[in-house]
Each structure stands twice: as C-alpha cells, then as structure tokens.
Structure 1
Amino acid sequence: MSESAEFSGGIGRRLREIRVWRGLSLRAAGELAGFSAAYLSLIERGVRPIERRSTLEALAGALQVSPSELTGTATRAAEDRESGPAVAALRLALADVEFGEAVDAPARPWPDVAADLAAMNALRPQAAYGALGAVLPALVVDLHAHLTTEHRRAALAGLVDCYAAAQFLAKNLGVPDLALVASRHLRDATSALSGPEWAGLAAWSRAQAISQSARDRAHAVATRGAADIASELDRPQVADVYGSLHLTAALASMTLGRTDTAADHLDEAAAVATRPGVGTGFGNLWFSSGNVQVWRTMLAVEAGDGGRAVEIARGVDPATLPESPNRQAAW
C-alpha cells in the first residue's frame, strides 16, 4: 500500500471510530459536515482521499474534534520520542515567565544570548522539533532578563522570534491550545515594539493560531491587520507582513468557499510582492513573488482545480524557495 493510501486509510479509520463513538450514523455525520453518506463512506474506507483543508475541517467540526485528531498529528506527536519532550519543554517555555515579569536569574552576557537566539532561529526552518523545544525555555528566561538592560529592544525582538517559533512548534505538533498561548505572548512582545510591521506580525500570528478552528475569524483578523498597515507599504518589512496577511486571508476565504475573495487577496499579495526591497525575511515570513505562486498552487488544489495547480507549479522552482527543508518538503 502506498504512503498516501495509508494516510488516507488512517484518517478514515479515525473518522469512523469517532463517528461511532459519537453515536452518529453515516447519514447524520454526513449531513452535519455537508456531505452525502456515500461520500463519507468512501472516505472512511480509504477509497476517497481528503485533498482539501475545508473537507477536513468540515468533518472535524461535525464530529466536534480538532483536525489534528483526524489526521493523527496529535497522536503521532505524543508517541514520537523527539516531539514528546518538545511539547513538555514548549509548555514550560510558555508558562514559566509571563511577559514583563521580573526573573530571578542574572542576565547572561548578551553576545552569548544573541548566539543562542541565532541558533534557535536556524533550527526552526529545519523543523528540528526536539532541539527547538530544548532551547526555548532557557532562552525565553535569558531574554526576559535583558528587558531591563541596554539590550531591551533586541531582547524584545528575540522574544518575538521565540514565541513565533513556539507557535510553529505547537501547530506542527498538533497542540493548538499552545499555539494560541504563544500567539498571545507574541502580541504582548510586539506591543512593546513601535512600528506597523510589529503590529502586522501580531495580527498574522493571531490569524494563524485560530485558522483551523475559526476560518471566518481568521479572515477578519488578517484582513483588518492588513488594512491597518496599508498606508506604510513603502517600508519593505511592512510590505512583507501585509502580503503575508493577504495570503492568510486568501486561504481562509478559499476554505470557506469564497473563491472570488480568495483570488482578490492573492492578487493583492502578488502586487505588493513586486515592490522594491520586498523579501526581507522579516518575521521569518519570507514573503516573495515565488512564495505567492506557491500559495496560488496550493489554493488551486484547495479549489479542486488540479489542472490549474499543475500549470502554476510548472513555473515555480523549489530551489528559489528559502533554504528550509520544512517549506520545500511541504511544497
């Protein structure tokens, strides 16, 4: 059996187990999700793969579970020798110190902390979950200790990086509650940094954190966040965040079946990607024209237009994407 068939069958088995546990017939579960009983039966038997986020989220909503419980992400994370400790470390990093809280530990020399921060940022695109979880708790404490030193602004920016990495880790390991906590911490850190790029990054983080559970709300947060910084697009970092917010809004629109709205958001992102200086890597977003094309491909798949997806994909060179095994593997 192929890997994709095993994956589809795994979702089907979990779908049936949860449906039976809920006491729902095929017809009842299908009606709640907006599908026929016959279609749902094909998914449960592994005959029909789930190719769209909207389908997965509709089924999860009908069964009152998170999408990760159907895909098995949460189960795999709990069983994996690397990700289990990573989740525990992540909880510690997010709960040990509240933003602005004084820490008892003396501040380590800033060059040492800055080196650890650079190493942490290098781990994120590698999807090195265990290593990332291991360094976050101590690094968060170290950066808080420097909020009262002359390195305060750099420490604040470092905390934004840490909480963004924590959100990435939580989301990929199937722990959505921690992703929301990380997003709130990131918002607190960005609020202490002046500049529309930081406000936009906070909105992007929030939209990402709630995206799977509330697409309507995610769209509203991303759209409003983009509107709030639209007057500052002559600044490349702001343009990067603005474009990323429109990509997030495009995905939310597409999963809600609003294809025209999704196309508008994509076009806006494509237009801003041509501005001079765009592609700064701010916030580890790595927004660019190539990135927009990747999103166009993904959303064509989401729309069920495989032919269009292939056509767009032919014009994308994966080698032009950021040097990130995680992103390139997803592509």
Structure 2
Amino acid sequence: MKVAIIGATGYSGIELIRLLQNHPYVEIEMIISGSHDGSRISEVYPHLEEIIDDKLVALDIEQLEKVDLVFFATPSGVSKNTLPLLMDRGIKCIDLSGDFRLKSPGAYEDWYGLEAAEQKYLDQAIYGLSEIYSKKISTATYIANPGCYPTAVLLGLIPALKSGIIDPGSIVIDGKSGVSGAGRKASLGTHYAEINENVKAYKLGRHQHIPEIEQTLGDVYGEKVNITFSTHLIPMSRGIMCTMYADFQQDVTTDEIIHLYKEYYQNSPFVRVRKSGIWPATKEVAGSNYCDLGFLADHRTGKLSIVSVIDNVVKGAAGQAIQNMNLMNGWKATTGLLMTPVYP
C-alpha cells in the first residue's frame, strides 16, 4: 500500500518514517514538507543517510491521488483545511493533530484558539483510540489520532470508570511529559537552559487535551465527566507518565483491579498490566508502542491510584497511527510494531 506523510520533518513525522520502514505491507510514496521543499530527508535528518534519501516535496492535492492513505503529522490548524479535500476524493487519512478530535466546533475554537473544521467533517471522523474503538476504526476512512496525554490517561481510566469502581467526579490526573511532546520548533519553554535540571507545570486548567479526555470518558461512561488535569514538562526527550487518582465507589483490592484490567485488555497486545507493587517507568516503553499500567487500591485513603506510561511519539502519536492503519486494512494490530523497548 502506498502512503504519504505530510509534515514529515517533525518528531511525529520522522517517527512515522522510522516505523514504516519496517512495515511489510507499506511503501512510503511521498514525504511532504512545505518548509523543506526540494531538500533530501537526509539533509534534514542526517541519521537517515543511506537508509532513506527521498526528496521532500510541497503539498500537491492532485499528486496525492496516487496514494492509498495519507498521514497528517502537522501542527493543529493545518489538516482542517487540507484533509477534507482528500476525504472528498476517497483517500484514507489519519490525522495526528487535534483538528478533528473534538466533535464540537465551539470547544475546538475555545481550547485551541483556532477556527474549527466544518461540522460534517468532524462528524465523519472516528476517534482512533485503538484499544477502545477498534470496531469503528476497522471500517473507517478517516481517523482522528488521539493526543499523547489522552492516550495514556484514557487507557488507564476507562476500565475502572466503565466498571463503576471509581467516582467519575473525583478524578485527578498528574501528567508529566518529555520535551519532544512540545514539537521540534524552538521555543523559550523548551530551551536547554530553561528545561535542564528543572520541572515546570504548564497550562493548568487550560490544556487542549482536557476536552478530548472528557469527551471520550463521557462517551464510554454515558454521562458527562469532568477532570482535574495538571501537566508538567520534565527534562527528558521521550515519555509520558500520568498518575491518576479517584475515589472508590466499590470495595476492591489491588489484585482485583489488576484482574479486571487484564481481562479488559486481554485482546490488546500493546497494553501491559504490572503485578501488584510493581510500577511502570517511562524507560520501560521508550521507542515502543506499549502502554504499561500499574495500580494501588489504597483503603487508608479510599482512593485508587493508576500509573500509566507511554512513549509520546510512538504510542502517543506515530505508533498508534500505524496501529490504526493496520486495523483499517484488516491487518494484525501489531504489524510492523512489534519491537522491544529501548533500554536503557
């Protein structure tokens, strides 16, 4: 199958290239970057020398008609203008940005500060949380790939919420992300002297992933769910850890929680549930498409603690996009993605 990558020189785009190089059913037909049009990909990323040396080209809708699927690895605000043109031509698309995740145009404009896509296209988009919406994804032609934080949070919370174990009004999420989550573009907040030996809270109460998390939790729970979500930037390149807390509504043990999650994700090869007393770490999923989960049912406080870790540019972006592509085409979800995490 021939694919194109739009926004190929960002971190998610270059991760798509790395992973697709080993996919048995895919050929990268076009690598698109408006900012580097005419350059070789190896000129932007020298580590690709003699591996892939394709020429970067500018976006041309007519040229994209010769591919079967297009990945959008672009900043928010880009795909909403281009993707509908491809959808109208019957080309499958997977969007790694936030342009089609929220069903409400007003919510998108409020949280992203940008003009929203047309409602008819928002309605057509299938939210690509692979383990939760696999049936819908399997028949989809357009996928809104989840954000990195929402992937870690939702995979951690959904089984407990659906089972009625936790109070949906008590959810508190402490999120920590590596610097690559901010993208490749230089900024003061990700400058070495600003982030090295430092931990910074940012976008408290205003992170654009809050409505995405609440929308999906509300969908699976059947009622509106509000969360408290605090995000922090930490001095490492890759990785997300989200520690979630919620009040019990049922009297359960840690072992019972672990059994529930193992049952829920028994057909989800990329979700790994830790044994009691063993907590996942970001290094244990680096470079992989795994989400690792750990639990504590604390009866002293009456709260459930859930620890969820992913690699933000793999499971949180490019890896999940490829997992969704696999599901859309009837291939095994693991195709091209079975790799050992990079350790140390």
Q: If the TM-score is normalised by the length of the shorter chain, which range does it land in?
A: under 0.3
Q: Which has the higher strand share?
A: 2
TM-score by length of 1: 0.28
Bigger RCO (CA 8 Å, 6+ sep): 2
